[in-house]
Amino acid sequence: MNPYRRSPFIKIATFLVYFFLYAPIVGLMLFSFNASRTNVFFGGFITKVGPLVMDGSTVVQSPCGPFHWFCELSRNADVMNATKNTLTIAFISTITATVIGTLAALALQRYEFRLKSFSQLSLYIPIVIPEIVMGIGILVLFSQVFNFLNSSLNLTGDARLTMGLPTVIVSHIAFSIPFVTLVVQARLQGFDKSFEEAAMDLGANELTTFWRVTFPMILPGVLSGALLAFTLSLDDFVITFFTTGPGSTTLPIYVYGLLRRIITPQVNALSTIWVLVVFTAVLLLQRLQNRKV
């Protein structure tokens, strides 16, 4: 059999699969440069540079040329605030979940204890259950805890505990920890303990052995878990929707609010930027996962 021979059916099937996956994304990016203010039809690309002149629903000229809608986003205070909230939540939750997940993976991989099987099984529960179920559960939990604390401590006015940025961060940490733990644990499967034993035989204590030997060897897995948690936090909508509050709007929530009115090229431009950011993070994640020490 010729290993370089490819069946025409396989080629056609591959093309259809990739077309189905990426045609909507390419179309979204094209409409980011749409000269029409509405996405009912494609009014051509914005190519002219100059003062903005409107002719009906069509942009004739733009001070930013084809990047007019991207320029509008940069001047939108709501978009900038949503971006700041999204990145703040993603960075804090990623760092915290990576630390906790790495420690959990080390404990599950190296130590035997009574609830080890249950702990290992419980990692899959936040992954396999529907996000809306987890979101409702977290909402009920926060509501009950906040009501109890507000009534017990007689908190009123601005001192009352309510939903906001901290609740979103805690929620993202909760659903990110299992992903980090499983990725780091997979990295530890092929870990050779003789390196640690050799370091300790040479006089290194446990902390020095971890930082000088163990951590550098599992670093690709830790970074892969961190990037996975980061991309999940950036894209999350359902759990964020149930745990957000005033002043904690993220980009997915903001885009959803825009879509409830009308889909404009501005929405497409914002989605295009987000797709590129997530694609870059996923590409970096893939490279780290394929890296070998």
CATH for 87: 1.10.3720.10
Residue 121 within a domain? yes
* Burial state string for 119-155 with b = 16 or more CB within 10 A and e = fewer than 16: eeeebeebeeeebeebbeebbeebeeebeeeeeeeee
pLDDT tens, residue by residue, 23-73: 888 887 877 777 666 666 666 666 554 444 444 444 445 556 566 666 667
**Total count of domains within the chain:** 1
pLDDT at res. 94 = 94
pLDDT at res. 36 = 66
Residue 253 within a domain? yes
Angle at 266 between CA 264 and CA 272, to 5 degrees: 110
pTM here is 0.78
pLDDT at res. 48 = 53
Note down the domain range covering 215.
Answer: 77-261
Whole-number Cα distances in Å, 212 to 200, 206, 215, 221: 11, 10, 7, 16
Dump the DSSP string for 86-153: HHHHHHHHHHHHHHHHHHHHHHHHH---TTHHHHHHHTTHHHHS-HHHHHHHHHHHHHHHHHHHHHHT
Residue 10 within a domain? no
Q: How would residue 269 be classed by pLDDT, with cut points 50, 70 and 90?
A: confident
pLDDT at res. 227 = 86
- On whether the CB atoms of residues 33 and 46 are closer than 8 A, the answer is yes
Residue 40 within a domain? no
Residue 60 within a domain? no
